[in-house]
Amino acid sequence: MIPPKATDVQVTPASIELFPGQATTLTATVQPSYVTQTVIWQSQDQNIATVDEQGCVTAHGVGQTTITATTTEAAQLSATCQVTVNPILASSVSLSQTAAIVKPGATFSLTPTILPENATCSVVDWISSDPQVATVDAQGTVVVHQRGTAIVTATTTDGTQLRSSCLVAADCQPDINGDGEYDVVDVNCCINAMLGKTSDPEVIEKSDVNGDGIADISDVNLIINALLYGVRSMTHEFTVNGVAFTMVPVEGNEDVPAFAIAQTETTEALYKAVMGNYSASHLFDVEDNWPATSLDLYRSQEFVNKLNQLTGLAFRIPRYSEWYHAAIGGNRSLGFTYAGSNDIEVVAWFNENSDDHPHPVATKAPNELGLYDMSGNVAEWGAELVPGPHNMGEVPFNYGGGYNSDRIGCRVTSFGFYDYHDYECRGLGLRLAM
């Protein structure tokens, strides 16, 4: 007797879209229903997706493939499902540190973290803004060639074009014994290294302060100069549409990786240069050298995004840990109540001296890192949402107080939160980080 023949086979669904790692089961239906329902499943490209005997499809790589179900009896009828495996796009990329204070000759590695963790993109493109100062290879290894500054930027390669930048500041580092001070002890250490009277490899390495491969009298001279005239980290000046601003690299510690932060609050001039010439403020007739004010976090982020489009770099709003580390003077902190002094009048515009409006940036004394107005003038947004009081839910916080804050509000430990009813955001501004 001749076995009954299949007359038709169908696969449902006829097309599917998956992400790598995802699986779904296809159904094959053979007509007429009284013939054997067994089919053989096959994938055209097993690198994209595989299929098991039950029709379960598992996605592996990004691309397209065709899954075919073929009847087992003589007619060998078949039907297909088109499978598209889409990439899981990156939502952010961040570098292990966003500043590096190093000496010429140094080599270090930057590690990018791409989120979400299962993002398809695992590599970034690297570029240095000044290869004469620092070069970067495809693995994120940075080699510093000479004194100067350069910006190393990592960009995601999945089409999202997300970026993170690191400010490399290469200068002589005359703290030979690593105690955080520049003094005559460092001169002694260097002379000992020069004369071969020390076997401590770290002292020998650090004694070559100009990075030319040998500890000699020129290095001793550099240390003495640093001792006499002081050392401040190299800063980097950026210009956008004709308006300049300066970023300061800040050494990190075990809790805060090194980062860069702006020397001043974002000025009205910079805000206008980036945002197309309209003022940040609805409240004042604002001078160009005043901080941009009346900004909420949303408008601050909008400004940062536009700035990044214009520069091809990755500026950002500082995290609170970074803002606080910078405000207290970083690793050079002298423990002041206000950023740079215990006398608020020396460092801050606040409600007793401001005449109820912001003042030109950098007209009070700077703090230990050379940063201005971290206490007072305008309060500065932090990047995180923080649980607010009175069941407000998570709200953005701002730090350091403004021209309209009292003495307590301008302490380095002071913060405010966004009041949704105060949509003019009086006294709120922004300081850029990288």
Which residue ranges make up the site for Ca ion (CB under 5 A)?
175, 177, 179, 181, 186, 208, 210, 212, 219, 373, 377, 400
Identity of the residue, 211 or 252, whose beta carbon is nearer to Ca ion in the bound complex:
211
Identity of the residue, 177 or 246, whose beta carbon is nearer to Ca ion in the bound complex:
177
CB of 384 to Ca ion, least distance (A): 18
Rounded-to-integer distance, Cα 394 and Cα 261, Å: 25
Identity of the residue, 140 or 402, whose beta carbon is nearer to Ca ion in the bound complex:
402
Identity of the residue, 268 or 373, whose beta carbon is nearer to Ca ion in the bound complex:
373
Output phi, psi for 184, to 5 deg: -65, -20
CB of 343 to Ca ion, least distance (A): 17
Identity of the residue, 183 or 302, whose beta carbon is nearer to Ca ion in the bound complex:
183
CB of 214 to Ca ion, least distance (A): 5
The token duo for 93 is: 């990329």
The token duo for 17 is: 């879209």
In sequence order, what DSSP letters do the residues of 340-395 get, joined into one string? TBS-HHHH---TTTSTTS---TT-S---TTS---SSSSSEEEEEEEEEPSTT--EE
Please give the C-alpha separations between residue 423 and each of 52, 108, 122, 280, 365, in angstroms, as whole numbers.
58, 45, 41, 13, 31
Identity of the residue, 113 or 218, whose beta carbon is nearer to Ca ion in the bound complex:
218
CB of 195 to Ca ion, least distance (A): 14
Q: Can you say how many angstroms the Cα of residue 232 is from the centroid of all Cα atoms in its chain?
A: 24
The token duo for 234 is: 């190299």
CB of 336 to Ca ion, least distance (A): 15
CB of 219 to Ca ion, least distance (A): 4
The token duo for 194 is: 């020069």
Calculate Rg over the CA atoms of the chain: 30
Identity of the residue, 94 or 377, whose beta carbon is nearer to Ca ion in the bound complex:
377
CB of 310 to Ca ion, least distance (A): 24
* CA atoms 278, 281, 284, 289: torsion sign: negative
CB of 371 to Ca ion, least distance (A): 10
Rounded-to-integer distance, Cα 267 and Cα 127, Å: 28
Identity of the residue, 252 or 400, whose beta carbon is nearer to Ca ion in the bound complex:
400
**Is residue 131 a contact partner of residue 142, using CB atoms and an 8 Å limit?**
no
CB of 331 to Ca ion, least distance (A): 13
- Give CB contacts under 8 A, 24+ apart, made by 311-316: 311/238, 311/240, 312/153, 312/163, 313/129, 313/151, 313/153, 313/163, 313/165, 313/238, 313/434, 314/153, 314/163, 314/164, 314/165, 314/434, 315/165, 315/432, 315/433, 315/434, 316/383, 316/432, 316/433, 316/434
Identity of the residue, 216 or 288, whose beta carbon is nearer to Ca ion in the bound complex:
216
Output phi, psi for 2, to 5 deg: -80, 130
CB of 182 to Ca ion, least distance (A): 6
Rounded-to-integer distance, Cα 62 and Cα 19, Å: 8
Q: How many CB atoms lie within 10 A of CB 402?
A: 29
Please give the C-alpha separations between residue 82 and each of 8, 47, 64, 370, in angstroms, as whole numbers.
19, 15, 7, 61
Identity of the residue, 72 or 225, whose beta carbon is nearer to Ca ion in the bound complex:
225
CB of 149 to Ca ion, least distance (A): 21
Identity of the residue, 30 or 362, whose beta carbon is nearer to Ca ion in the bound complex:
362
